[in-house]
A and B are shown apart, each in its own frame.
Chain A
Amino acid sequence: MLQRVAALALVSLLVAACSANAGSGTSGPGGDPVTGGTLNVGVTSDISSLNPYDGTGESTSMVVAQLNAGLFKRYKNKVVPAIAEGLKPSADGKSVTITLRAGLKFSDGKPITPNDVVFSIEQAKQGGVVGSLYKGTITSEKAKGADQVVLGLVRPTINLDALLSYTEAAIIPAGFGGRSKDEFYRKPVGAGPFAFDSRKPGTSVALTRNKNFWDGKKPYFDALNFQVFNSVNALTSAFQAGTVQAVPFAPRESVPSFAGANIVNTAAASTEMVFVNGRTGPLKNLRVRKAISAAIDRKAIVKQLGGAADRPTDTYLPTTVLGEAHPVPVGDRDVARVKQLLTGTPYGGGVSLELIYPTGDSTLAMTVQAIQENLASVGIKLKAKALDLSAWVERLLSGKYELAYQSISASGSTAESPLAFYVTSGGIGGGWSTRVAKAALQQYQAATDAAAQAKALDMFQAWVSAELPVIPTVSVSPALILSKKVGGFEGMRSVTQQSLPLGELWLAK
């Protein structure tokens, strides 16, 4: 009896997998957007905060992005005005005047004033890595009249609008709307397409349509309901039963099990890479580092990951970054070169290394396993050790590792956050010089045109390619799983999942 049941279940699973492969694609309902309904979004991790300035984690960023709006936003590979009408630099470029749209209101119906913008920028400056970027760019913020804000700048900044399009540049009511900070973030008010309704920690976050949203008919849904699933199996079942219609950040190995889904590959905001500790034994030797890089079969890893938009990469910066360094040609795995490189070192007979990586990301784990196999075949024995994220970070930043694997993501659409992270982490704990990164960051920020920005990034990338303090491997494009009933997903491909504009989506009747 049980065997029959098990066999039936196995058949069901296979049918589900086959139908997912056969039925998946990116076709959805056509026609005009439909207003109304609730979009149930399944996520595999709960939010950690509703504070846009210090919230971290994929789910947190995504929920915060629905509740808030900034002065600018990134959409379809461009930075476009959001609640700002536009910005006008002064003649010397040392200040800009930002004009707000007319009639703006927060989700609680109160008007958005220049004082709110000033207060929000002050809050953003107190944030983490991004806060230090704001502090390093904006010297002052002052309200001017009923609808303008003047920002003093450290230097003329060509991508200020991009910097102000970060999720961390959200506009909130001045003085937290008369509440304490803690009270405010328990039930926040923002200018995003959705308004906060309720939260059950570890279970769900419910948002409702912001009737005061500035952008025309959007959002189309009446409500957004984020449901937290501790089990991917439960999430898959909920999707198949139709109780969940959207699954962002879908674990890569689970994608085939979403039968009949639209699989939308969103922008790759992160690059996976091996961090190298240049202070430890064999890794001090450039030839060993080059051998490791040459031994990794990036193309095979991409094929194994199975994402249609994943790419092999040798570049530190994620592809979503504006003014991205000119891509470095990705070399094929070259076993002969690996052997040649190792022969000239004391490690010609083989070398053993430990690679640490954080738990909780199955895509990372898959890649680590592939790298382990790649290196084993050329005599480099890799002991892979999965660590809790905080333990992994502690080991990394204290330099107590040989190799570490993780993805580096850009908070927004400029190269500043990944470059600043490299600098503030002291070359990511590996004892590397941060001189080139600092110089590149300064040149990037001082650049007066896109060509000068690209030149700064190229300089940093050339140093990375020559010294290999990190060994980039793949650029992973996360999958957004949508029910075939969900329309309006075309714009999702060019944005990161952390800032998905769910207000653009709609549900066919």
Chain B
Amino acid sequence: MKKLIQMTINDRAYEVAVEPNKTLADLIRYDLGLTGTKKGCDTGDCGACTVILNGDPVNSCLVLAVQADNAVIETIEGLSTDDGLHPLQQAFVEKGAIQCGFCTPGMILSAKNLLDKNPAPTEAEIREGISGNLCRCTGYQKIFEAIESTRS
């Protein structure tokens, strides 16, 4: 039986009826059309589906949409503003931290969460902060440099 849930995604309120067996990742991508959130492994290993749920980054493939009732969610689409890209997004572009781009939304959201909570992370903290996000192009060093360039 479908359940009616409410959530705020990127400051916009949504009310949707969802089947209990729908994951948050599928809801965001296929029902709401926010395809910046990627699906890689679908088992919580790769981090491509990272979203920020009530202030904490999570694998949205391992959250049921019904569990996100009343949640506040941030996806990669919520980062840029009318003024342009978020500083982290800009840094990823400038440092060549994007190859195929599939891990990028998750990487940037993990990095954003890290910098929001700890504006001046050490090298080890940056590496730990993105350790739940796999890059199959193995461009980790450029990603690290992009994040490092935006810390205060």
| A-B complex is real | no
Interface of A with B (CB < 8 Å)?
none
Interface of B with A (CB < 8 Å)?
none
